[in-house]
Structure 1
């Protein structure tokens, strides 16, 4: 492992052996039932609102309702895998009990990280990676090597986040201020196909903060105020969230956050330009309970991100700087991005009602990205711009605007009916969902409105799922989903539909160890860009590389070809998993949780860009000779195969905790046997910590070791192998006051987490991505959070 000495590597090895040794000692107890409930009598269980398809394991109490982290002083410690998840089956259950590769993150964990962006929260989760740029605050999630164009379904309070812009960046991202997040629920692979169309990679569900996060039990109102300061170079954040129970049937919640940061330095001490950002966000929710069991919630989120995206030329002598045109940066755009999310949900649930457990949600999400070109860093400037402004026909002229706007309208309605008969318990969940993307783009003098075409996409679907438990011996989950899509634009249209099955079988669901097997299919419809992108990728000007003649008569570097015959991708995932849970192992109150799984996801009709040449052949003076036209088209390749092993473990002895999570995987284009650039082969995260003074002081460290993927196409430069070590200290002298300190990247290591596209010559990388993808070097942060509340 890079950057660490042999002693540190030995520590990781010893930590890794602990959960293995524990599991070996339990092999004789795999089929035993749980310990009596009175072992955990000091815990505060969450009230059960409905009957469940499977009886909960008696030794593990349900976690409390989401509570402000500052209220945890002296309270029972709950492992995150004991928290509730819904993404796998749309029915509530603990993550440790879910027969699926599920990970959750609690509010307490989120607040202790003091995250600057979403990636700071989820990078340690097994199978999860990010392809972010430092000069862009958006987040692009990769799960099990699949990303872009909705392969990972990202939802915020149930609202799909479908923003996509094609450029020197990922093809799919979303904007969410970390200070708004109250909980994270991630399911890997298409096993959660009931959650919506497209998620062949997985589902990442984010819950924003709500009244229960700031108003504690016994309080009528509450307010949380938070302040964070950091180094590298100048970081500051302030936020206030508050709520009030107007009466037993009406709740109001609102809050906002503002943060700034200057350009940071990477681990080599080089300033990464345009990583300065100014972010602000506001949230408001109204909850009404009009009748027994009914809850109606109206929520709204507004975010504004102000930043400059793009990288200027790097001075010679700086790392990765190159002389001449090879060292060019890119154009820089002053960006004002606004993101709006509005949701209206209606839930109904009563313990005595077996037929109806209802959840309905409608939503609207808008991402409005308005940019103005403020700098042209290429040496190739043409006379296409007026007034003597530099620029060219690819990126436009300095002073000219461009914009990307996407509106997503959607709904999600489902119900669960429960039937008990003899030794069987049945839960039948059925529902419909859909969304429509309206995309419009504008570029006054550049090429962006061609690389990201406008249009409409409508995706609808429905599902039915049967979940059955036979006493404490067997759990079966079977489902089928139907999907349909329609694409329309001025260039063309496309459509398609499919049924996708799922079956999961688990043994001994209430025992210490629960093995399960699963087969699930997922269906991803092609996007507007993949299907309908057309026209010339124009050159900088006449005679400067525009050797290709496109069907519409335009010239360019190459020609985008639409593909109305593009078929949807189908993920076929096979999984074998094992859930392990045990309390009171070495001492009263300690616990171990572990989820282990191996998987193979065969994605048929995988969509990727294919470059080829063909007629017409043309000559272009002053260069003699005939040149074929170069085309770029999204096509279905035969298949992509991604397979691997994942684990997530944690041993918690109250006074200390230690855990290991791991991802080992590989991905191949089965047609060429070349690895997929987006698949990372190995990630290990060791977490360890100590608690003092009745949980008033918590000291912890996280060490993530990542191995670079070198089995990738020649058109990409591999990312780096790296070791990222963070240290956290939380001090809570009173139940109302919390002090948080952290040191991020304590080794001050230079790292680029993902592969970088190369230029057309396959040798020089795209410098703006190379420079902007480097993570921040060592960073110190300190924060103070205070709670106010009363009856």
Structure 2
């Protein structure tokens, strides 16, 4: 006791040390190429669609990003068949642990129609990274989105909180309203209920031209319940719903001029899960979660003027799954292990039912129906060897069975006058595929500041139900090997007391063979570099990122048309009045891209462009306005008329847009 008292008397109270932060911290402690968009950044960006949250991430390209219908994401040139389909299976989209993204729907995308106000955090991993817990074929990357929770709004033992937000945007005369109710009557139970509505009219580009069918109405809802059974066990139920009703809009969401046929399009997305977490504090070998998941993605198309199947079909994808995953912590000698093991069983049922004409009730041959039954087991072991070296081997085995259902002789019309009759795929016909995939990544820290990292990964993108219409595709998987190497730096007090400097440089190379996604392309070779940096000083903060990717096909010098344009982005900001006021300026530049053989559509050559934006956020933490959040931003400040590469040549980006919002938590 005397010795303890003596030590206490000799100790020095250093007080609270506050480190400056930028808007986006760089993930320097991992070998994966990962960017995290936090709740703070989500609020600051005031995005109108989920994918708009991602366009500040290096090597991430948006398809139809300003409108939720048809929206899709390309990472390192993979993940979307731009201008035609919404997904090619090479990017995994995970919402609350539930796989998202429907099968390919011709010129209507993958139905990634999700309200950004639902989410507290979005993580983008470029390349295979640590995706093997979710997919065998995510060689492009993984997007993980986590919805909000009651604990995000309940502070200091509060039992009740209500948050109301209203907002507007000038381009399209849009408005937003979201209401969040969070309550926790006791320590065991908490709940969150969210309802939102976003409405935007047709927008205009920088030249003042109306962007056809760019407006939308989008109601959304979320329910999240947590019940803490005891100190070790928690039950969670989550349910989210999004819908977009549209009337008399062009069929093609990417290029409205592709056809003069107007349709009514009704898009719905339902995500639900029930999770049980068992994490006893006295047993480091057990941190178990069982998650039962359900996903329903639905798009109904109908036309009053044309009776062809293409314009009168009900597309639906229904997915049920069960995941069991455990994280165990243990040591073997000088090696500390974080061992993640899991098993997943999933059934995906897809139908594209024709609603008129001779083949009414059958599946449209452009979107064949059936079931995809699969199971997978996976393992990842993060091994910390001593103080400096970390190795992470990962392995996944997946087996699937695709079965045709309700695919009779059908006629598909690719326009008012061009139709093709496809022979029947006999009901019950099945194809089986399996794959062993995995990766090995390593990170070595030379010091507390400087580290190098690298990885090699092997992927197989197994056939999807859409491949039922192609005898060659259904028999083989796309294969790919990705190699990455990089350098990271992370230092506090780099140039001044309390500042923080971080950067991460990654070079990658991806080779894909046995290709089935792109017509006439069997092999794709991609290579590129990505750079992210952040600096936070007591006087200001700065974020910078840049990316460059090159791609060729079929072991020739011919360009891979879907490789993204080179981009660079800079954000400068300053926080004032005890961080109550945040002012920022942002500039993004994309170089012109003529590395394409395309002459029209999404892969037509693009010119270089630069856009600027300013934003202000005032969040008073005392006084009469405490609890309010005031935000204002101007996107495309100079009203630039431009077309991002991989956006259809007929669709320019949105012009100047002033966004305002007020939120209050009671």
Q: Alpha-carbon deviation of 1:510?
A: 6.5
Q: Secondary structure at the match of 1:291?
A: coil
SS of the aligned residue for 1:657 comes to strand
**Equivalence for 1:342:** 272
Task: Spell out, residue by residue over 1:45-71, the C-alpha distance to the aligned partner (whole angstroms, 9 max, x if none).
Answer: xxxxxxxxxxxxxxx8xxxxxxxxxxx
2:96 to 136, 157, 163: 157
Alpha-carbon displacement from aligned partner over 1:409-432 (angstroms, at most 9, x marks no partner): 122221122222443212222111
1:121-170 per-position Cα deviation (integer Å, ceiling 9, x unaligned)? 11011121111265653431111111123211001101111313432354
The question of whether the paired residues in 2 share the 8 Å contact of 1:593 and 1:649 is answered with yes
State the shift of 1:310 in Å: 4.4
Q: Provide the residue aligned with 1:524 in structure 2.
A: 461
Task: Report if the CA contact (8 A) 1:301-1:342 is conserved.
Answer: yes
Q: Are the aligned partners of 2:23 and 2:543 in contact in 1 as well (CA < 8 Å)?
A: no
SS at match of 2:31: coil
Match of 2:131 among 181, 193, 200: 193
Correspondence list, 1:382-461, <5 A:
390-391=305-306, 393=308, 395=310, 401-445=312-356, 449-461=364-376
CA distance in 2, matches of 1:334, 1:195: 38
Q: Which string of whole-angstrom CA distances, capped at 9 and with x for unpartnered residues, describes residues 178-205 of structure 1?
A: 1111101111111223222221211100
- The equivalent position to 1:701 in structure 2, one of 585, 591, 594, is 585
- Aligned-partner Cα distance in 1 for 2:273–2:606: 38
Q: In the superposition, relative to structure 1, how do residues 118 and 687 fare at CA in structure 2: closer, same or farther (>3 Å)?
A: same
Aligned residues: 613
Residue equivalent to 2:150: 211
CA contact 1:80–1:105 (8 Å) conserved in 2: yes
CA distance in 1, matches of 2:261, 2:344: 40
Whether the 8 Å contact between 2:488 and 2:503 is mirrored in structure 1 is yes
| Aligned CA distance change for structure 1 residues 585 and 440 (closer, same or farther; 3 Å) | same
In the TM superposition, residue 265 of structure 1 has moved relative to its aligned partner by: 0.4
> Could you tell me whether the CA contact under 8 Å between 2:481 and 2:512 is conserved in 1?
yes
- 5 Å-filtered alignment, 1:536-685, equals 561-563=470-472, 565-610=474-519, 637-685=521-569
1:391 shift after superposition: 2.8
Deviation at 1:240, TM superposition (A): 0.9
Q: Distance in 2 between the 1:135 and 1:244 partners?
A: 33
Q: Is the 8 A contact 1:660 1:687 kept in 2?
A: yes
Contact 1:134 1:774 in 2 (8 A): no
Equivalent in the alignment of 1:355: 285
Q: Structure 1 residue 121 and structure 2 residue 53: aligned?
A: yes
1:451 Cα deviation from its structure 2 partner? 1.1
Match of 1:462 in 2: 377
**Cα distance in 2 between the residues matched to 1:573 and 1:476:** 17
Whole-angstrom distance in 1 between the partners of 2:372 and 2:106: 21
SS in 1 for 2:102: coil
- 1:356, 1:199 → 2: CA distance? 28
SS of aligned partner of 2:598: coil
Are 1:787 and 2:661 counterparts? no
Structure 2 equivalent of residue 143 of structure 1: 75
Q: Give matches, 1:479-498, under 5 Å.
A: 479-490=394-405, 491=425, 492-498=429-435
Name the SS for the 1:212 alignment partner: helix
Compute the displacement of 1:721 (Å): 2.9
TM-score when normalising by structure 1: 0.73
**Is the CA contact 1:274–1:307 (under 8 Å) kept in the aligned structure 2?**
no
Q: Distance in 1 between matches of 2:478 and 2:376?
A: 16
Whole-angstrom CA distance in 2 between matches of 1:329 and 1:520: 42
Could you tell me whether the CA contact under 8 Å between 1:472 and 1:509 is conserved in 2? no
1:96 paired to 2:34: no
**Partner residue, 2:611:** 724
Match of residue 634 from structure 2:
743
Corresponding position: 1:255 with 2:139: no
Q: Match of 1:674, SS?
A: coil
- Residues 246 and 252, structure 1, Cα contact 8 Å, conserved in 2: no
Contact 2:321-2:345 at 8 Å conserved across structures: yes
Is the CA contact (8 Å cut-off) linking 2:564 and 2:646 kept in structure 1? no
Partner of 1:733: 620
Contact 2:68 2:113 in 1 (8 A): no
Q: Deviations over 1:683-728 (max 9, x none)?
A: 1111111111111111112211112432223364234432222211
Provide the residue aligned with 1:55 in structure 2. none
CA contact 1:135–1:307 (8 Å) conserved in 2:
no
Shift of the alpha carbon at 1:245?
1.4
Hey, what's the Cα distance between the residues in 1 that align with 2:225 and 2:343? Answer: 25
Rounded to whole Å, the distance in 2 between the matches of 1:603 and 1:173 is: 26
CA contact (8 A) 1:514 1:578 kept: yes
Moved more, 98-107 or 676-685: 676-685
C-alpha distance in structure 2 between counterparts of 1:343 and 1:721, whole Å? 44
Q: Decide which structure has the larger Cα Rg and report it.
A: 1
Provide Cα deviations, 1:560-594, integer angstroms capped at 9, x if missing partner. x5436531112211110222111112222211122
Match of 2:25 among 81, 88, 101: 81
Classify 1:565/1:112 alpha carbon distance in 2 versus 1 (closer, same or farther; 3 Å).
closer
- Classify 1:165/1:478 alpha carbon distance in 2 versus 1 (closer, same or farther; 3 Å): closer
User: What runs of 5+ residues in structure 1 fail to find an aligned partner?
Assistant: 1-36, 44-59, 61-75, 83-94, 314-319, 322-326, 375-389, 534-560, 612-636, 757-768
Q: Is the 8 A contact 1:719 1:754 kept in 2?
A: yes
Aligned ranges 1:292-311 → 2 under 5 Å: 292-308=231-247, 310-311=249-250
Change (3 A) 1:567 1:430: same
Distance (Å, rounded) in 2 between the aligned partners of 1:571 and 1:506: 23
Contact 2:544–2:568 (8 Å) recurs in 1:
yes
Judging changes above 3 Å, is the alpha-carbon distance between structure 1 residues 670 and 224 closer, same or farther for their aligned structure 2 residues? same
C-alpha spacing 1:752/1:434, structure 2 compared with 1 (3 Å) = farther
Quote the residue 1:273 is aligned against.
Answer: 212
Structure 2 counterpart SS, 1:391: coil
Offset, 1:329: 4.2
Q: TM-score, length-normalised on structure 2?
A: 0.87
| Deviation for aligned residue 1:438 | 0.6
State the distance in 2 between where 1:38 and 1:301 align: 47
Q: Distance in 1 between matches of 2:662 and 2:70?
A: 26
Partner of 1:500: 437
Partner of 1:747, secondary structure, is coil
Measure how far apart 1:487 and its partner are: 1.0
Q: Which residue of 2 aligns with 1:41?
A: 16
Matched, 1:333 2:333: no
Q: What is aligned with 1:774?
A: 652
- Given that 1:258 and 1:281 are in contact with CA atoms closer than 8 Å, whether structure 2 keeps it comes out as yes
Superposition RMSD on alpha carbons, in Å?
Answer: 2.6
**Residues 246, 151 of structure 1: CA spacing in aligned structure 2 closer, same or farther, 3 A cutoff?**
same
Partner SS state of residue 44, structure 2: helix
- Distance (whole Å) between structure 2 residues aligned to residue 695 and residue 462 of structure 1: 46
Contact residue 167 and residue 176 of structure 2 kept, 8 A: yes
Q: Could you tell me which residue of structure 2 aligns to residue 626 of structure 1?
A: none
Aligned equivalents of 2:608, 2:303: Cα separation in 1: 35
